[in-house]
Structure 1
Amino acid sequence: MKEMAPREREASSNYINRDLSWIEFNWRVLEEAQDSDTPLLERVKFLSIVSSNLDEFISVRVAGVKDQIKAGYSRKDFTGYTPAGLFKRIMKRSAKMVSEQYKTYRDVTRQLAKEGILFTDYEDLNMNQRRAMDAYYHEIVFPVLTPMAVDQSRPFPLVHTQALYLAVLLMKEGDDPEDEPYFAIIQVPANLSRCIEVPARTNSKKHEYVLLENLIEQHIHTLFSGYTPIAVHGFRLTRNADLTLNEEGAEDLLEEIEKELRRRRWGSPVRLEVQKGIHPYALAQLKEEFEISDNIFEIDGPLDLTYFMKLAGSLKGYDHLRYKPVSPVYPRELLDTENMFQTLRQQDVLVYHPYESFDAVTDFICLAAYDHQVLAIKMTLYRVSGNSPLIEALAHAAESGKQVTVVVELKARFDEERNIAWARKLEKAGCHVVYGLVGLKTHAKITLVVRQEQDGLHRYVHVGTGNYNDSTAKLYTDLGLFTSHMVIGEDASALFNEVTGYSAPHNWKAFGVAPTDMMDKLFEKIRREARHAAEGKPARIIAKLNSLSNQQMVEELYEASKAGVKIDLIIRGVCCLRPGVPGLSENIQVISIVDRFLEHSRILYFENGAEPEVYISSADWMTRNLTRRIELICPVFDKKLQETLIRILELSLGDNVKARQLQPNGMYTRVVNENRQLRSQFEAMRIKTWKKSRIITTSE
């Protein structure tokens, strides 16, 4: 297992900066690409994820910091950074990360070559291979290309965010070499395969690939007859992608977002990536056009490694270089039932994805859509897959006369266009489509089914920690609770009434709902643990979340730690809390697990004086989740299901293979136990059932 290069430590403060903490998270993702124990094609995927993560971070978070600098904002945040100081630190750490990423890229491609998967330059192909690539270029690539000259009569064309381009310098025969060259750009077509497989050499079983931009570069003369190319180099621009909506003044939120998506193409430049060795004149032209000088990355390798993800998934015959496929089991409680609603009348059911199948969720909604006794379906949609069966089911339910209400979150970042398409489709089918409340994203994941039965109306509820997305449910760890509990059903009805209509804040009996009372409820529970600790009663908090960055929440945890509460935090990504500081947080431990699946489930445990309370949640402990989104925490009342959730937490806390522990200095170190290795995700895959009072694994 390769160790990461030492990195700069965090500034002295009681808090860790959110953006710098995120960079540390992306380093942990990079570690998975560097880990020789990770199957080779999985390492390729992690390299791709590092790039896509950084793209989003730059286009949203760094863009926001740059906006603050432009506006002259110079106040320090609660972690002690001014925008200018933070920007410098982000750039320094990001540059180190990118350098390390491309070192890893070179190592991974060497390992791929040993397996017979090669990335070959056009110049190194044999004559037969060149002829094939020449034919591919002329028949497929050339007709798609558009050379765009830049001169006095032709202004610089629009450069799309995160698209790959070639900057071309040219001269005419007889021109003085000292004269300024002619300048043009070409967009590398995104709708053609970036990796072009080359015909195999004689008696060779190796797979060779040429990158599309390399092929274009070799044939660049075909686009500029009468001119001589003197330099060709790749570049890539990242623009500000954060939407700025005037929701109060928008008569139609859907139309306003469509307009803003179009404006995103012209977002201000935030980062410029250029190929190493780019001609100084070309670089000067790009810097002048984009008015950028302080966020330029010179890349020693192919720009934009996100193409690696598609390649890793498409290669045939290399299953030995991948993780073994997971076959999610269907929840046992729902497997043999003739009617899911009858089962849920008798017991709650908890489903743990991806180890248990998301088909249970799909079946629940499809059953409701086609069941004649169902009167109404109400559901929130934040991100759904490209061909989600849920959309078809909801549309059918509406067309068959059921009352179908769907709260579609149009502002789900980078999924806005897809959600607009679903919203229009659902509206055409007769669904009541609601776009949430002004100024708030609807991030809660909940479905309510109202069914007419012999003894009256009954409510059936599904509450999840993740999106209603059958694709990500195979890649993320998430939880879903099915219940017909009366109190949860009443709260679910009240929640939808608040989102879709005019209702005074509800006195929630089970839920905690942001932004109205979730934070206060969480603070009360944390303070209760502190009181119990002071009284000598059992006091403990375990929270499994994606991120923790809200200052007030961090301070409440510090106070609880000082009161003697043992606090275990399982935080995958950003964590602004600094654990293990004497007199402040010595009772707090923070671990992060980055492994095959994206840890996404949110579980909260409060000891409560030996009468534990356990919750699942849609919300992280970030300011946006607690104050600017509609979120919910939902209690799990069933004692056996509580035990299941506690065991999931214990499994994570016991991980000593993929867990990293956050140190007081802001760095992470691997958790190691030389006596017994426990890899929580792999252990979870071995478990045959989560519903027994004692977990049974296949080894028993």
Structure 2
Amino acid sequence: MRNFDTNENFINRELGWLEFNQRVFEGALDAANPLFERLNFLSITSSNLDEFFQVRVASLGDQILANLDKRDPSGLLPQESMDKILSRAHRMVEDQYRCYRYSLLKKLKKEKINLLHPKSLTKEHKKYLRDYFLRRVFPVLTPLVVDQGRPFPLLRNRGLYIALLIKGAETNLFATVQVPKVLSRLIEIPSVSNERQFLLLEDLITLKLPELFQGHKILSSGFFRITRNADLDIDEEGAEDLLETIEQSIRQRKWGSVIRLEIGKGFHQNLLSILKEELDLDNDKIFEIDGPVDLTFISGIIKLQGYDHLRYEPFKPQGVPAVMMEEDIFKAIQDKDILLHHPFQSFDPVVELVKTAAQDPQVLAIKQTLYRVSGNSPIIAALAQAAGQGKQVTVLVELKARFDEENNIHWAKHLEEAGCHVIYGLVGLKTHCKVLLIVRQEEDGIKRYVHMSTGNYNDVTAKIYTDIGLMTANPQFGADASALFNMLSGLSQPNNLNKFTLAPIGLRGKFLQLIEDEARNAQKGLKAKIAVKVNSLIDKEIILALYKASSFGVEIELIVRGVCCLRPGLPGVSENISVRSIVGRFLEHSRIFYFYHGGDELIYLSSADWMPRNLDRRVELLFPVEDPDSKEEVKAILDINLKDTVKARILTSKGSYKKVDKRRKKIVKSQEVLCERAVAQFTKAKHLLQERLDGSFQPITNELE
């Protein structure tokens, strides 16, 4: 048997992530995208890079400090990985700002949206800005000087600052002014023409620095921004109150070690020397920016009203046919499993299910896991209402959801105050599965209704993330959901599950067995196929199993939006494996697993990606799709994704991505096709419903296929 576990068979995880961010950046470069959408892709690329440095680069830095010499699967030592990452990140930032300066700014100007340079300000501009500064900005500013009595200030993570060198009596002094986050960075200057003119807040503050430091000569000034380690390290075993511990860790995140310094072009060498010494940074972690430091201010431009022609044509998530055809949502779920595909189909039925359960006197209990929810969540409101009406409401709020900790702490406290029983998660594990269980007293006894999903119970992101959910009244799913919640709230072990497979208990083994079954069938000369859609493929054991299956002749088609450490197309290793990534209008987020299984096709949905953290360190759920119509729908979704020739990029064996060769192929934009499909299904259901209301309806089986 060939040894597949060699360094050349794996792609470095961090470099793979940077290639993913490059695909996001391509959305900013694509002239076929509307201008505001291009700006949005640029802003997302920038914020993605922030998170990458705060978490992945910071973690790698910790390994280097600890003198770890363990090589990753691709054969790189931590320092070797860091060198390659920083080199690639520098090129990416240069490309971002080149796109901003030479393409997007010019396009904005053509649309009569001007970002003014301080040197181009007229007398009228300056008069308006003088008043604006005195009224709105000056009262908020806090100039800080470093001298014998005032130490170097604590600088906030991702805060934008102005550094100054001030002439002193004996020695020059260093000073900083933070650009206030409480104020918009975009200052609109009134114009008599139909043009809209803006100045960045930091440029205005720079113009007014002499007023902040009256009586002192400013020798130089420049913009800078730092990124700190924000990877929370929580000792849950020693935390008597997990909520309080996480609150403290969030506060500490603001002051983690500095891992990146961004400086404006032309930043004075003396200022830079001071920052390097105080922040303890090497040159390779210093990024000189030829443009505004921190491009996330672009989100302010994107929100401008009156520019719908510069955005994607609005798409309204469509109604779900099975829900439309029945007034009682519980009756609809009893009749048949209901598959929901967001954002092509509306998330409203999920919200409506929780709201209905909260008000229904027959509902005895509601149990739900929450990982990320919206800022004004209707689901939270419904759960609180249900508790107020005396129902047994149990909610697991995962406090360790990265960068959503503060929001989740707020909701956890709110739910507790409303009378819900709130669980904060399990020690050592993040609860990432998405499950809703409703227990209802009916004429024939207790009935359980279950909703499971690949995505969060978030009504906002459900409009921009692609996810698939399933509603069912199948008693076996209900029993498994009860067992899952008993595990989360108590010490019960979920043994002998009917339909669910959970991580970290058996999910890894389940995936390996399903892959092995296909490999065994291929060895027998039978048809064998695997098709998988995930966000990331990093797990080494899974990759090795896929290599083995490929070597036996299993056809493997992978759709991996983000990081993929598997190298496809390697002779004798992965020549039967193809990998594609789709980055489009909506964020691809659903996890779908298809196995041919000797013709008895198996289809699963999951909250889990193929990553060690999902398989070993999280509570995740894999559940089967068994209803024939739902299975066909999921297969159709997979097929449409695999046929994309516009937004898809194909991973090569070298670790780079290329566009699809469109020769002799139909032009397919998968997300547009899925939008059209949802509209067609909704329209058909609406006509059927109208016929029923008109009295001319005749039952037609499989009418909504």
TM-score (norm 2): 0.94
1:311 equivalent among 301, 326, 346: 301
Is the CA contact (8 Å cut-off) linking 1:122 and 1:130 kept in structure 2? no
What's the RMSD between the two structures over aligned residues? 1.5
Q: Deviations over 1:590-629 (max 9, x none)?
A: 0000011100011110101111011111000000000000
* Pairwise CA distance, 1:182: 1.7
Q: 2:572 aligns with which of 583, 588, 591?
A: 583
Spell out the pairing of 1:150-549 with structure 2 (5 A cutoff).
Answer: 150-171=146-167, 180-200=171-191, 202=192, 204-293=193-282, 294-312=284-302, 314-549=303-538
* From 20, 26, 34, the counterpart of 1:25: 20
Is 1:68 matched with 2:63?
yes
Counterpart check, 1:687 vs 2:682: no
- Give the Cα separation in 2 of the matches to 1:506 and 1:444: 18
Instruction: Give 1:102-117 correspondences, 5 Å limit.
Output: 102-106=97-101, 107-117=103-113
Of 117, 142, 145, 1:146 maps to 142
- Structure 2 distance, partners of 1:672, 1:42, is 25
Deviations 1:101-128 (A, max 9, x none): 0001111111111111110013212211
Partner of 1:600: 589
> What is the distance in 1 between the residues matched to 2:591 and 2:34?
28
Q: Does structure 1 conserve the Cα–Cα contact (< 8 Å) formed by 2:186 and 2:300?
A: no
Aligned length: 677
Q: Corresponding residue for 2:698?
A: none
Q: Is the 8 A contact 2:434 2:457 kept in 1?
A: yes
Instruction: Kindly state the Cα deviation for residue 368 of structure 1 after the two structures are TM-superposed.
Output: 0.8
Say which of 92, 98, 105 aligns to 1:97.
92
CA contact (8 A) 2:325 2:685 kept: no
How far did residue 75 of structure 1 move? Answer: 1.7
Structure 1: 5+ residue runs without aligned partners?
1-10
Q: What letter is aligned with 1:302? A: P
SS in 2 for 1:37: coil
Q: Which residue of 2 aligns with 1:625?
A: 614
The CA deviation string for residues 76-99 of structure 1, in whole angstroms up to 9 with x for no partner, is 112101000000000000000000
- 2:210 and 2:500 map into 1 onto residues whose CA distance is 66
Letter in 2 for 1:194: R
Residue 689 of structure 2 is matched in structure 1 by none
Structure 1 residues 665-684: aligned runs within 5 Å: 665-675=654-664, 676-684=666-674
CA shift at 1:508, angstroms?
2.0
Query: Which of 121, 124, 128 pairs up with 2:120?
Result: 124
2: CA distance between counterparts of 1:380 and 1:688? 28
Distance 1:502 1:51, change over 3 A: same
What's the counterpart of residue 133 of structure 1? 129
State the Cα distance separating 1:168 from its structure 2 match. 1.1
Pairwise CA distance, 1:695: 13
Helix, strand or coil at the partner of 2:480? helix
- Unpaired stretches in structure 2, ≥5 consecutive residues: 1-5, 687-705
Tell me by how many angstroms 1:210 deviates.
0.2
Partner of 2:9: 14
Return the alpha-carbon distance in structure 1 between the equivalents of residues 414 and 494 of structure 2: 31
SS of the residue corresponding to residue 420 of structure 1 reads helix
Q: Secondary structure of 2:597's partner?
A: coil
Q: CA deviation at 1:133?
A: 1.1
* Runs of at least 4 residues off by over 4 Å: 689-692
Q: What's the counterpart of residue 693 of structure 2?
A: none
Aligned residue identity for 1:329: Q
Structure 2 counterpart SS, 1:61: helix
**What code does the residue aligned with 2:642 have?**
L
Residue 158 of structure 2 aligns with an amino acid whose one-letter code is Q
Secondary structure of 1:609's match?
A: helix
| Contact preservation (8 Å) 2:542, 2:610 | yes
Give how far 1:153 is off. 1.0
1:37 aligns with 2:26: no
> 2: distance between equivalents of 1:307 and 1:225?
30
**Cα distance per residue 1:34-62 (max 9 Å; x no partner):** 01111110000000000110000000000
Cα displacement string for residues 501-556 of structure 1 (whole angstroms, at most 9, x for unaligned residues):
01124222211100000010111110001111112222100000000000000000
Q: CA offsets, 1:165-221, max 9 Å, x none?
A: 00011225xx6xxx6422100100001010111111x4x211111000000000111
Say which SS state the counterpart of residue 306 (structure 1) adopts: helix
SS of 2:88 mapped into structure 1? helix
The structural deviation recorded for 1:674 is 4.0
Residue 78 of structure 1 aligns to a residue whose secondary structure is coil
The structural deviation recorded for 1:689 is 5.8
* Separation in 1, partners of 2:413, 2:582: 39
Measure, in 1, the Cα distance between the counterparts of 2:552 and 2:341: 34
Relative distance call for 1:35 and 1:689 in structure 2 (3 A) is closer
Aligned partner of 1:196: which letter? I
Whether the aligned pair in 2 keeps the contact of 1:644 and 1:690 (CA below 8 Å) is no
The one-letter code matched in structure 2 to 1:167 is A
AA paired with 2:444?
D
1:685 partner letter? C
- The 2-side partners of 1:663 and 1:98 are apart by 24
Structure 1 residue 657 displacement after superposition: 0.2
Distance 2:263 2:180 in 1: 18
Return the offset for 1:360.
1.0
1:259-289 C-alpha deviation (Å, 9 max, x unpaired): 1111112211111111111111111111111
Contact 1:505–1:516 (CA<8 Å) still a contact in 2? Answer: no
Structure 2 distance, partners of 1:335, 1:446, is 23
Q: Distance in 1 between matches of 2:65 and 2:517?
A: 44
* Closer/same/farther in 2, CA of residues 330 and 401 from structure 1, 3 Å limit: same
Match of 2:83 in 1: 88
Which amino acid in structure 1 is aligned with residue 34 of structure 2? P
1:197–1:354 Cα change, 3 Å: same
Measured in 2, the distance between the counterparts of 1:335 and 1:132 equals 55
Q: Tell me what 1:643 maps to.
A: 632
Q: Secondary structure at the match of 1:568?
A: strand
Equivalent-residue separation in structure 1 for 2:513 and 2:679 (angstroms)? 34
Q: Secondary structure, in 3 states, of the residue corresponding to 2:323? A: helix
Shift in alpha-carbon separation, 1:594–1:504, aligned structure 2, 3 A: same
Do 1:487 and 1:510's aligned partners in 2 also have CA atoms closer than 8 Å?
yes
Residue 672 of structure 1: CA displacement?
Answer: 3.0
Deviation of the 1:298 alpha carbon? 0.7
1:51 maps to 2:46: yes
> CA deviation digits over 1:214-273, x for unaligned, max 9?
000001111111102221111101110011111011111101101111111221111111
1:4 aligned residue? none
